[in-house]
């Protein structure tokens, strides 16, 4: 798995979104719409999601915990390289 695109965002008006990014699996499947969020506890990733009819947001990609941790580490490292 690798990050194929990361777009850092300017933080305006107290926004918490640090960047958007896309990943590519070893099978060359590209999943778009991951977000890197800056919270009081540090940076974390948020998978793509869709708004349901009830107005709540639901993740459209579910990652196993080990994969999510690995992707989060990768995303934070990549963000650190380009956000300077």
84: confidence class by pLDDT, cuts 50, 70, 90: low
What's the mean pLDDT in 22-32?
95
- Torsion, Cα 72 19 60 51, to 10 degrees, reads 140
Q: How many domains does the chain have?
A: 1
List residues bridging with 19 in a β-sheet: 8, 36
Output the pTM of the full model. Answer: 0.85
| Beta-strand pair 42-46/49-51 | unpaired
Euclidean distance between the first and the last CA atom of the chain, given in angstroms as a whole number = 24
pLDDT tens column, 49-76: 999 999 999 999 999 999 999 999 999 9
pLDDT number for residue 57: 92
Residue 37's domain comprises 2-82
The helix/strand/coil state of 82 is helix
Q: What is the secondary structure of 40-73 as a DSSP string?
A: TTEEEEE--EEE-TTS-EEESS---HHHHHHHHH
pLDDT number for residue 7: 93
Q: CATH no. for residue 58? A: 3.30.1120.40
List residues bridging with 42 in a β-sheet: 39
Q: Tell whether the model's pLDDT for residue 13 goes beyond 70.
A: no
């Amino acid at each position: 798995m690798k990050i194929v695109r990361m777009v850092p965002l300017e933080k305006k008006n107290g926004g918490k979104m640090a960047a958007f990014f896309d990943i590519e699996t070893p099978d060359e499947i590209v999943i778009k719409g991951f977000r890197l969020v800056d919270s009081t506890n540090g940076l974390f990733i948020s998978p793509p999601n869709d708004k349901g009819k009830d107005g709540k947001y639901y993740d459209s990609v579910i990652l196993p915990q080990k994969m999510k941790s690995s992707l989060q580490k990768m995303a934070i490292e990549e963000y650190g390289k380009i956000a300077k």
